[in-house]
Amino acid sequence: MKRGFSLIEVLVVIGIIAVLMALLFPTLRAARERANGIKCASQLRQLGAGFFNYAAQNHGELPPWSGWQVAGGDGTGDDEEGLGWTEQLAPFYVKPTSPAYDCPGFPADYHINYFLTAIGLRVNHRQNWVMTQIHSSSQFILSGDCTGETLYRKPFGTRDYSTDDCDKDDAVFPALTFAGDPDGGLSVHYGGNNVLFADGHVDWARKFDATRMTFSPTDMQSWDQLNSSTAP
């Protein structure tokens, strides 16, 4: 005669499975977050190549920054006049609506999660970078995870728009922010964010590091330092 499992035995097995799952879930979550970070870094490197392709065909210049732009917009509603930098980059890279602009660490319905550094342009009354004017290319932040809440529509961000901005830049508001920053911030890749530098390499950073990164093309300055300065 076959003997079945007792209720106590079944409960013990269920308890063991629950413990194993509790031990396994953090590992799976960490692996998924690391995979997202690797995918994001790859996309940023491809974006860097797109910038370089654009510059090669435009006398060394990169696309100009602008206001809140809607991909494919006609200058009405949320869309300001002109084209966003992602739209101008499209012939040399991908369309602004491409998933290549979507970091997997962000909510799926908030698109274009990378920015173009422009704070140094605004304070010097310029619209775009010229590659030859970027002296410290291995330290100059060209792009990266756009984690500034002011660059996203509500409720993920703070802006009263119904569309995604295809011209995310840090000319007026910081774009690369980290968890714990004074004005609030977000770290989307295991406690940090990915950063694209002007020489094309991508690095992960837990915080802004003034010893190895800068928002100025000529010297080491943070976003706040540039924002508080005035053009000569």
Which tokens is 95 given? 């369309």
pLDDT at position 22 is: 65
Mean pLDDT by 10 residues, the chain (232 residues): 61 72 59 83 98 97 96 93 96 97 94 97 94 94 96 94 96 95 85 96 96 95 90 48
Say what the pTM is. Answer: 0.85
